[in-house]
């Protein structure tokens, strides 16, 4: 009897040990991923967006994924972030495809003036529209999220009331589409990075800028530029991407932790606080002494939209040369925008 009890106890202990051993062997290995972006530490990208996403992924992986964040171009220049992810210099990067005009001809359609007004709804449209093209234009990387920032507003030292007011206006722009559009209106293009915009304004190299509302204050330009065109002049897209080898080396559980946070809904969550800050900036500037937030007349608005057709035709020709049907691409984009009501102002 004593021997049977001993054998039973020993057998139970062995079963328990086997279970523990099995649990240990099934545990996902620890992985550290490097996440590079270019926004400064005080920017909403650094303080809100990235930490929220990083913490959610780490938690979903039960702590087996650790993400080390490198802001402010520590690992490379903003323009190089697509190639950094492709080449494995970083495992995750946040990019603006517009920094490399012509490289992503389909995606460049997103930069067309007057395309969208609500960035949160636009992210649903962006994802629906561009996912079918991802393997053609960004096959070197794993595209996680497709994001939209609040549309840029034209901030100037004087009110811009008509098309002739654009002539000789020195405008800091964010992408080549803005450059071509404003050039057709007679403006002087100042293509400096956002981090150098303040210096350009203070030195008189530029006298206006296309920035979302709150960004004007974040970059310290609200004392120099006091007139603000109350219209969604031009939108912008960002892409959260991963190195393919880094992703493929993950376990199935770890891949799921990443994939579950690579959706259009997560793109909305990623950008929500930042876009709200940009939207709130309108009221802050309007209430600030000496600042003028002015609407466009219907006629002026129509003239500006009509002027953008020249740039759209240029884009279409570039897309056609790259082997795409520009009408198909454009119509599917407009259809997605209207379906998700992204062309209507935020409610």
Round to whole Å and give the CA distance between 47 and 118: 22
Question: Which residue spans within 230-331 are E strands per DSSP?
Answer: 234-243, 292-294
Rounded to two decimals, what is the model's pTM? 0.89
CA dihedral 175, 180, 183, 185 (to 10 degrees): -110
Round to whole Å and give the CA distance between 195 and 159: 25
The residue among 185, 190, 193 whose CA lies nearest residue 167 is 185
pLDDT, one tens digit for every residue, the chain (347 residues): 444 443 344 444 444 433 433 333 359 999 999 999 998 888 888 999 999 999 999 999 999 999 999 999 999 999 999 999 999 999 999 999 988 989 999 999 999 999 999 999 999 999 999 999 999 999 999 999 999 999 999 999 999 999 999 999 999 998 889 999 999 999 999 988 887 899 999 999 999 999 999 999 989 999 999 999 999 999 989 999 999 999 999 999 999 999 999 999 999 999 999 999 999 999 999 999 999 999 999 999 999 999 999 999 999 999 999 999 999 999 999 999 999 999 999 98
Which two structure tokens, joined as six digits, stand for 246? 């880094």
How, if at all, do strands 208-211 and 188-190 pair?
A: unpaired
CA dihedral 144, 146, 147, 151 (to 10 degrees): 160
Residue 264: C-alpha distances to residues 136, 145, 170, 268, 336 (Å): 19, 7, 36, 6, 13
Beta carbons of 239 and 81 less than 8 angstroms apart: no
Q: Phi and psi dihedrals of 42, rounded to 5?
A: -85, -5
Which two structure tokens, joined as six digits, stand for 64? 């087996």
Phi-psi region of 294 (alpha: psi -120 to 50; beta: other; left: phi over 0): beta
Q: What is the pLDDT of residue 26?
A: 59
Round to whole Å and give the CA distance between 174 and 208: 12
Beta carbons of 120 and 277 less than 8 angstroms apart: no
Round to whole Å and give the CA distance between 203 and 2: 93
- β-sheet bridge partners, residue 148: 237
Q: Inter-axis angle of helices 119-130 and 326-339, to 10 degrees?
A: 140
Round to whole Å and give the CA distance between 30 and 102: 39
Round to whole Å and give the CA distance between 310 and 296: 21
Which two structure tokens, joined as six digits, stand for 115? 């395309």
Which two structure tokens, joined as six digits, stand for 65? 């994924």
Q: Which domains does the chain have, with CATH numbers?
A: 29-339 (3.40.190.170)
Q: What is the pLDDT of residue 95?
A: 96
């Amino acid at each position: 009897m004593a021997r049977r009890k001993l054998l039973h106890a020993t057998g139970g202990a062995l079963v328990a040990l086997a279970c523990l051993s099995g649990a240990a062997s099934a545990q996902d290995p620890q992985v550290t991923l490097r996440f590079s972006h270019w926004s400064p530490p005080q920017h909403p990208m650094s303080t809100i967006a990235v930490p929220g996403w990083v913490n959610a992924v780490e938690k979903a992986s039960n702590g087996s994924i650790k993400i080390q964040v490198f802001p402010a171009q520590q690992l490379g220049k903003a323009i190089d972030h697509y190639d950094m992810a492709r080449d494995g210099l970083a495992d995750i990067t946040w990019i603006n495809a517009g920094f490399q005009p012509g490289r992503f001809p389909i995606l460049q359609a997103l930069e067309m003036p007057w395309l969208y007004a609500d960035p949160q709804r636009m992210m649903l449209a962006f994802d629906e529209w561009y996912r079918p093209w991802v393997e053609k234009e960004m096959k070197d990387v794993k595209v996680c999220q497709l994001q939209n920032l609040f549309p840029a507003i034209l901030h100037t030292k004087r009110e811009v009331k008509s098309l002739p007011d654009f002539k000789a206006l020195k405008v800091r722009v964010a992408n080549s589409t803005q450059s071509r559009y404003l050039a057709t209106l007679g403006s002087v293009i100042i293509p400096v990075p956002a981090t150098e915009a303040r210096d350009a304004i203070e030195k008189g190299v530029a006298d206006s800028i296309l920035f979302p509302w709150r960004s004007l204050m974040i970059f310290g330009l609200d004392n120099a530029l006091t007139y603000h065109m109350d219209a969604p002049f031009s939108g912008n897209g960002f892409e959260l991407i991963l190195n393919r080898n880094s992703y493929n080396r993950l376990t199935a559980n770890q891949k799921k932790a990443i994939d579950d946070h690579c959706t259009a809904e997560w793109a909305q969550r990623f950008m929500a606080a930042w876009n709200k800050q940009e939207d709130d900036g309108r009221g802050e500037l309007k209430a600030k002494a000496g600042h003028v937030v002015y609407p466009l007349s219907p006629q002026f608005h129509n003239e500006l939209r009509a002027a953008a057709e020249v740039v759209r035709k240029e884009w279409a020709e570039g897309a056609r040369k790259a082997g795409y049907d520009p009408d198909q691409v454009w119509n599917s984009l407009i259809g997605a925008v209207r379906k998700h009501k992204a062309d209507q102002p935020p409610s």
